[in-house]
Amino acid sequence: MRVSPLLVDLVLCFVHAAGGECTTGLVYELYELGAELGIWPPRTRRQIRNALLELARQGRIEKRLVSFGRYGATSMIRATDGCNELLLLLAEDLLGLKKRIEEVTGKRGRARARRP
């Protein structure tokens, strides 16, 4: 599995920006928000998942599966290694932008157009 070093660093910085622990869903949302803003090229969720697996293999993050019963399951990610300061600032800005969008729209996540 070949993963871009920039993608790996971005994913690690997303975890740090979220306070050192977050869900995989937050990592996906932050990456997609940056791609929509044109900061970096869009990637598939599989590519982002591969970056998470690479970080876990390197020992830079710890992943554990959390079950919510009939509501599903997600992976909690905890950072065990530092990250690039410049990328960390960018990740913190994206997290703040995501929270501001949620406040303005009153919805969690991105607003999506409904199909007729």
Residue 58 falls within a domain, yes or no? yes
Summarised one tens digit per residue, pLDDT across range 12-66 is: 999 988 888 999 999 999 999 999 989 889 999 999 999 999 999 999 999 999 9
Is 0.85 surpassed by the pTM of this model?
no
Nearby residues of 113 by Cβ (< 8 Å), 6 or more positions away: none
Name, in order, each residue with C-beta under 8 angstroms of 88's C-beta and a sequence gap of 6 or more: 13, 16, 17
Residue 51: inside a domain: yes
Provide the number of structural domains found in the chain.
Answer: 1
Query: CATH number, domain at 95?
Result: 1.10.10.10
Is 111 part of any domain? Answer: no
Domain of residue 68 covers 5-102
Query: Is position 110 within any domain?
Result: no
Residue 107 lies in a domain: no
pLDDT tens digits, one per residue of 51-91: 999 999 999 999 999 998 999 999 999 999 888 787 888 88
